[in-house]
Structure 1
Amino acid sequence: MSKPILSSYEKQRRTRNITVLSLLGFLIATVFVISMNTGFMRLSPLEVLQTIGGQGNHQQKLILFDFRLPRIVISLLVGAGFAVSGCILQSLSRNALAEPSTLGITAGAGFAVILFISFFPATTAAPIYVLPLLALLGAGLTAALIYILAFRREGLSQARLVLIGIAVAAGINAYQIVLALRLDPKNYQFVATWMAGKIWGGDWRFVLALLPWIVVLLPFAFYKARVLNVLNLGDQMSTGLGAPVERERLLLLAAAVALAGSCVAVSGGIGFVGLIAPQLARRLVGPRHQVLLPAAALTGGLLLLAADTIGRWIMQPAEVPAGVVVAVIGAPYFLYLLAKSRA
């Protein structure tokens, strides 16, 4: 009698998950269209369609293809990357507060990028493709430091992991401010907008610099979904099931750090996407990572694209950085999770 009931439950869950993923995809498509029509130079939906069909004038093609579409694509890629990185970190640490910015990974990657741009121009093609590597180096060193400080003989301390990450992030942010004060006005303006979380990569070169990392790392994370399910059972249970716990944890941690670092290189210091998106996705589709990771990627892309669109619209002709818009939502949610974890 239990088998048909279980089969019916599995069908209902599968149908619900497909519905949720389809709805997220529809919302992304809707915000995508709205974002193409949003900006200081407004294009009507008809003008957008005509421009996509090759019938727009030179100005419309310049606005749509050279300015808005690259930024929209970067928002989607960065949102998905941060969300999957946060989902992996939350699963590995079994802590709902873990994500790239709270663990200091974003700050470490950002410090490497700012340090490079402070002394070398980022206007030529070569540095743009080097930035993800530099961000990965900064993020990797920061993650290694936090991992070493949080590790104890009995294993990795989840509580220490978050607390040490917050402390390291605060220290790196202080160094960033000191560095910014020594810059010339032009570079200082860039660093200030970068730290506020403005998506500064605004052309197709930045898309091409980020795309290989996303194309490689997201499928790898999806492939490791079953491993994440096993690791969530605890180290002793995972070892009993035959999983090489430390090796898999380090591989997944490296993937999360690489995702966050490469995204920081083109997006600036955007926080809270890796915190909010996995939490919302978990509420929608449950804890199974085979569905949770794709749902988190879609949720993160939707969240950051909506934040960037709102930031371009709300105070025209000025722009509010997407990181500020996300922080308005993320900070109260972070406090809610913190209060809930103490309860």
Structure 2
Amino acid sequence: MNDHLKKRARRVFTVSAVLLVVLFIASAASGKAAVPPMRLLETLLGNGTPREELILYSFRLPRMMITMLAGAALAVSGAILQSISRNPLADPGILGINAGAGLMVTIYALVFTPQSSTFLYMVPLFAFIGGMVTALIISAVSYHKTEGLDPIRLVLAGVGMAMAMAGIMLILASQFDSREYEFIAGWLAGDIWGNDWNFVKALVPWLIVLIPAVLWKSNVLNLLNLNEGTSAGLGVRVGRERIVLLLVSVALASAAVSVSGGIVFIGLMAPHIARGLTGPRHQHFVPVAAVIGALLLLGADTIGRLMPFTTSVPAGIIVTLIGAPYFMYLMVKK
């Protein structure tokens, strides 16, 4: 049975990865300045025109890499939150963690000079501080002495915190000039604002360290998904493991939204889809969730770029149009 599940997970991962490659090629080739697929290949091999190289290497590819990395990080973050809270509706955006991270990013961007050499590498760290403070507040509000985290209270507290953080960001926006206001409004809408290779360099180390750590903790996550008494009876130090995994989840979500804007629902949809395709074991569905998260966010960003409007539609809005009905469906079902 276990071998069958492994083979199934590998097949699903392979198909998802192939779909991501196909979408990557289609996204790289399309846009207001289109690069035909054959010219795309030539350019990637170093034989493109200066215009094609400028479009791909300076504008399109960095944004696409940020989008895929952020989607994967949000998906894995959501998978962790759903397991440690035993709440199928948990998502770093719905629970307000993204908004807390975004508030700190906004404050940091408005106070410090974006042109400084350390700015890009400090942004994820400040986002993590904001996300962690938010996560601790909603955990404290939702915790019950005898029953642990209350799933319903967790969602309600998270939604309330997200709205409060968004309100504070709008108050901040009203105090600054139009450029800074546009930055905050774009972040709230889920606009991908990290658009050069330096942002990719700032984000990659977080994922290289944290996603393997999640896979290493897969068996612990499998046990935490059971009730608290059973997990403790099987030798899991529930309190400590929850704190460690919460830190990892918040770090992944905060690093992602620090460069991608306020994206909601990727962390909800991707783990559910992956779990439905591969089964409940984390070592099987977490890698698939990461690929699906990258696929969903890259697809949303590509659709937003190709909309027939004067300006592109932020990826966060496209994701919300899909994710909000999915959230309501899960709420009714579960």
Q: Tell me which interval the TM-score lies in, with the shorter structure as reference length.
A: over 0.9
Describe the SS at the equivalent of 2:63. helix
Question: 2:6–2:284: 8 Å Cα contact kept in structure 1?
Answer: no
Question: 1:85–1:257: 8 Å Cα contact kept in structure 2?
Answer: yes
Are 2:185 and 1:192 equivalent residues in the alignment? yes
Match of 2:139 among 142, 147, 150: 147
Q: Which residue of 1 aligns with 2:68?
A: 76
Are 2:84 and 1:92 equivalent residues in the alignment? yes
RMSD of aligned residue pairs (Cα, Å)? 1.2
Q: Which residue of 2 aligns with 1:296?
A: 289
Paired letter, 2:284:
V
Q: Which residue of 2 aligns with 1:33?
A: 25
Match of 2:58 among 48, 56, 66: 66
Paired letter, 1:134:
F
Write the deviation string for residues 258-287 of structure 1: whole angstroms up to 9, x where unpaired. 000111110011111001111111111111
Match of 1:312 among 302, 305, 322: 305
Question: 2:104–2:129: 8 Å Cα contact kept in structure 1?
Answer: yes
Using the size of structure 1 for normalisation, the TM-score is: 0.95
Paired letter, 1:51:
T
Paired letter, 1:93:
S
| Cα separation, 2, equivalents of 1:245 and 1:301 | 30
Mapping of residues 151-162 of structure 1, within 5 Å: 151-154=143-146, 155-162=148-155
Mapping of residues 231-242 of structure 1, within 5 Å: 231-242=224-235
Paired letter, 1:236:
G
Question: 1:125–1:205: 8 Å Cα contact kept in structure 2?
Answer: no
Describe the SS at the equivalent of 1:319. coil
Larger Rg belongs to: 1
Q: CA deviation at 1:316?
A: 5.2
Q: CA deviation at 1:80?
A: 0.5
| Cα separation, 2, equivalents of 1:123 and 1:24 | 38
Match of 2:122 among 130, 136, 142: 130
200-209 or 54-63, larger mean C-alpha shift: 54-63
| Cα separation, 2, equivalents of 1:321 and 1:124 | 27
| Cα separation, 2, equivalents of 1:34 and 1:123 | 33
Write the deviation string for residues 39-63 of structure 1: whole angstroms up to 9, x where unpaired. 2111111211111111111111111
Write the deviation string for residues 109-155 of structure 1: whole angstroms up to 9, x where unpaired. 00000112123332343211110010001001111111111112112
| Cα separation, 1, equivalents of 2:138 and 2:297 | 27
Are 2:204 and 1:211 equivalent residues in the alignment? yes
Q: CA deviation at 1:329?
A: 0.2
Extract unaligned runs of 5+ from structure 2. Answer: none
Match of 2:36 among 40, 44, 49: 44
Q: Which runs of 4+ in 1 moved over 6 A?
A: none
Match of 1:108 among 100, 124, 129: 100
Describe the SS at the equivalent of 2:62. helix
Question: 2:127–2:258: 8 Å Cα contact kept in structure 1?
Answer: yes
Describe the SS at the equivalent of 1:69. helix
Paired letter, 2:91:
E
Aligned identity (percent) is 46
Mapping of residues 161-172 of structure 1, within 5 Å: 161-172=154-165
Q: Which residue of 2 aligns with 1:225?
A: 218
Q: CA deviation at 1:219?
A: 0.4
Q: Which residue of 2 aligns with 1:201?
A: 194
Are 2:16 and 1:24 equivalent residues in the alignment? yes
Match of 1:336 among 326, 329, 332: 329
Question: 2:170–2:184: 8 Å Cα contact kept in structure 1?
Answer: no
Q: CA deviation at 1:317?
A: 5.0
Number of residue-to-residue matches in the alignment: 333
Q: CA deviation at 1:331?
A: 0.7
Using the size of structure 2 for normalisation, the TM-score is: 0.97
28-37 or 167-176, larger mean C-alpha shift: 167-176
